[in-house]
Every structure is written in C-alpha cells, then in structure tokens.
Amino acid sequence: MRRIFSGIQPTGNLHLGNYLGAIQNWVKLQDDFECIYCVVDLHAITVPQDPVELTKSTREVAASVLAAGINPETSILFNQSQVPQHAELAWIFNCVARLGWLNRMTQFKEKAGKNRENATVGLYAYPTLMAADILAYKATHVPVGDDQKQHLELTRDIAQAFNAMYGEEFFPLPEPQILGKATRVMSLRDGNAKMSKSDPSEYSRITMTDDADAIMTKIKKAKTDPEPLPSEADGLEGRPEARNLVSIYAALAECSVDDVLAEYGGQGFGVFKPALAEVAIAKLAPITDQMNVYMQDPQQIDAILKDGAERAHAIAQPIMGDIRRLTGFLGASLG
Ligand code: AQP
C-alpha cells in the first residue's frame, strides 16, 4: 500500500516556497497515491497565535491548496485539530523519542533563536507531533521541502524505536519525497535564508495572495549581484541570489536550470527579472483568483475540512486502537 501524508501550517499567507516545495507536488501525487493532506493547526500554536487570525489562516491555507488543484473528493483535506489521534499519538511518541534526538533538530534552534528558555515545550516537541501526523495513518511517503528532511529522519527513528520496543514491525518507515526543481526556495532578500512566512520583510517572499503588480515589484527589488547570468549551471556557484532566481524560474516553467541559462545566459537581471515575474504571474494568478472564489464561501471550506476530518478519523482510529493495545492501555479511547 502506498499512502501519502503531508501538512502545512496555517501561520500566514502561503508563499512561493510552500507552493514549489510542497503544494505543486501534492497536486501531482494525487494521481498515483492515496493522499492525506493536513492544515496543521496544532503545529501552528507552537508559537503564539491570535485565535481569530488562526481560524482565518486555516481557511486561507485550505483555499490555496484547493485552488492549486487538490481534489477534496479523491484526496483527504482537513485541519489537524479535528482528529484527536494526532495529539494522542504525539504523547506516546514523546515517551519514545529521546532528548538527545530532539536536541539535534536544527529547526528548533533556528526558531527558538537566542531566547531558547522562552520557547514553548510544544516548539521543542514539534517533530514528535509531526511523526504522529504521519504514522497515525501508517503513511509510506511524505512529500516535503528540503527543510523538513531532518524531521522525516527523526520520524523514521521513532517508528523504528517503537517497533523495537513492542516487538512488531508495526509502523512502516516513511520515505521523504523531496521533489521538483526548487526544493529549498530562498528569501528574495537573502539568498542564504529560507523563504519563510515568518520573515519580517514582506519583500522576502511572494505570497499566494500577491497580485501581478506586487509580484513584479518584489522580483524587481530582489537582491542580486551585478554580474550577468552565466551560460552554465557551474557559473551559479557562490551566487546564491542568482541561483535562487534561476531555480525559481525553472520550477515555475517546469524546465531545467540548463534550459533557463541557455535562454538567459549573458543577460543581466534587468532582462531576467521581468521575464521571471511574468512566469510567476502566469502560474500564480489563476490560483489566486480561484482562492478568492473559495474565500467568499467559508462554509464550503469548513464543510470540505469536516468531511476530510471524518475520513481521516476513520483511518486513524483503528490504527490508534492497535497502538493502544500494543502499548498496554486498558479500554478503548473515546476520541
Ligand atoms: N522556502 C521553502 N522552500 C521549499 N519548501 C518549503 N516549505 C516551506 N518553506 C519552503 C515546505 O512547505 C511545506 C509546509 O511548510 P510549513 O508551513 O509547515 O512550515 P515551514 O517549513 O516552517 O514554513 P515557513 O514558511 O518557514 O513557516 P513559518 O515561517 O511559519 O515557520 C513543507 O513541506 C516545507 O518543507
């Protein structure tokens, strides 16, 4: 059996990195896999959230995913907190994972920053919840951006440790699927930093709600160096901003970096940036329009998420029943 699970946080407007690193691949995988896609609101509250904004972002993220082409009839789309097995299994995994394993997680170090003592316990335990998200469905494949690779390795470690503790090959070891030409889209302001929803600069990212003017302005303002583009990919070495823009172009146009450089090698950014903006607008504008249609009907979004949650629950509940028995918990869960 091949089952996909992947999630996305409702922590603000989705950006081009989320689209190219995750959602574009989610859409393609629908043809070949049973797919479960989740708006991970339990993950979102690992950092402070305004409750009204969280509800709004949950609907917005669901609308973006639907607008990008997720079919809620063939795939399952829901928000995490509606299915209690995620939190229940995360607790069990908190009692399997070791402090030493979590201490190695680079995302916690980056997000906690210098004020580590003030970070929530939830932010620290984020990877055990992510392991629970995936393994509550015994998912076999997990499409993610490159930034989540380490968490996926931890998920495999947890699955293996659980299987060893309880003497059974209960969980599959899920495979990361790091797909596409832009597995790590970088900030438009700094070619060494990941494009991220939480970057304070609006100009660091293109969001799924940006209109054509905003996309053009942000790309024109993107940081670059004064050299023209090289004709070969080797020439992008040591030029992180140029590499990022060329990779974004290749991912959007669904061609190779070599193809992009064959066309634009020798040209300056004065020519390349408007061309990139046109490709981005052509790709994103129809999605943004469709997203706005969904956003005008929040009840429809809520109904899709509820239906998805019921179907997700129907898969997770019996698996959780088996986990409870293996663990030695008396009685059935009410959740
Ligand atoms: N810059 C990126 N390039 C490629 N893929 C990316 N993803 C995120 N940023 C990039 C992928 O998008 C999926 C959902 O990510 P997420 O929202 O769950 O969390 P995140 O990785 O923490 O994203 P952000 O934008 O950095 O959010 P904040 O700022 O709120 O923490 C994942 O598959 C991820 O790999």
Q: Which of 28, 56, 111, 149 is catalytic?
A: 111
Asked if residue 149 has its Cβ within 6 Å of ligand 1, the reply is no
Clarify whether 197 is annotated catalytic.
yes
Strands (E), the chain: 3-8, 34-39, 76-79, 141-143, 175-177
Q: Give distance in angstroms: CA of 200 to centre of ligand 1.
A: 15
The upper half-sphere exposure of residue 208, i.e. CA atoms within 13 Å in the direction of its Cβ, equals 30
Residue 70: both structure tokens together: 């997720």
The upper half-sphere exposure of residue 261, i.e. CA atoms within 13 Å in the direction of its Cβ, equals 17
Count of Cβ atoms closer than 10 Å to residue 120 Cβ: 13
Nearest atom within ligand 1 for CA of residue 185: 3
Clarify whether 111 is annotated catalytic.
yes
Asked if residue 64 has its Cβ within 6 Å of ligand 1, the reply is no
To test the ligand 1 pocket, which listed residue (6, 13, 18, 123) has its Cβ within 8 A of the most ligand atoms? 18
Cα–Cα distances (Å) from 275 to 108, 186, 216, 278, 280, in that order, read: 37, 19, 10, 5, 9
Return the pLDDT at 114: 86
Q: Give distance in angstroms: CA of 147 to centre of ligand 1.
A: 7
Residue 169: both structure tokens together: 């090959």
CA 26, CA 77: separation in Å to the nearest integer?
A: 11
CA 23, CA 217: separation in Å to the nearest integer?
A: 24
Selection from 33, 40, 132 nearest residue 74 by Cα: 33
Count of Cβ atoms closer than 10 Å to residue 312 Cβ: 25
Q: In what order do the strands lie in the sheet with 175-177?
A: 76-79, 34-39, 3-8, 141-143, 175-177
Return the pLDDT at 61: 96
CA 139, CA 34: separation in Å to the nearest integer?
A: 9
Fold for 202-293, please state it: Tyrosyl-Transfer RNA Synthetase (1.10.240)
**What element of type H or E holds 298?**
helix 298-327
Nearest atom within ligand 1 for CA of residue 146: 35
**Helix, strand, coil % (nearest 5) of the chain?**
60, 10, 35
CA 137, CA 126: separation in Å to the nearest integer?
A: 18
CA 59, CA 76: separation in Å to the nearest integer?
A: 15
Beta bridge partners of residue 36, listed in sequence order: 5, 76
Q: Which of 28, 56, 149, 197 is catalytic?
A: 197
In CATH, the architecture of 3-182+297-327 is 3-Layer(aba) Sandwich (3.40)
Selection from 32, 81, 35, 34 nearest residue 22 by Cα: 35
Residue 255: both structure tokens together: 């061609």
Q: Which of 138, 181, 194, 218 is catalytic?
A: 194
Q: Where are the domains of the chain?
A: 3-182+297-327, 202-293
For residues 229 and 265, the answer to whether their CB atoms sit within 8 Å is yes
CA 30 to chain centre: 16
Long-range contacts of 246-249 (CB under 8 A, 24+ apart): 247/181, 247/182, 247/185, 248/16, 248/20, 248/182, 248/185, 248/276, 248/280, 249/275, 249/276, 249/279
Asked if residue 247 has its Cβ within 6 Å of ligand 1, the reply is no
Q: Mind listing the pLDDT tens digit of every residue in the chain (335 residues)?
A: 799 999 999 998 899 999 998 999 999 999 999 999 999 999 999 999 999 999 999 999 999 999 999 999 999 999 999 999 999 999 999 999 999 999 999 999 999 988 899 999 999 999 999 999 999 999 999 998 888 999 999 999 999 999 999 999 999 999 999 888 888 999 999 999 999 988 999 999 999 999 999 999 999 999 999 999 999 999 999 999 999 999 999 999 999 999 999 999 999 999 999 999 999 999 999 999 999 999 999 999 999 999 999 999 999 999 999 999 999 999 988 98
Q: Whole-model pTM above 0.85?
A: yes
Beta strand 175-177 with 141-143 is parallel
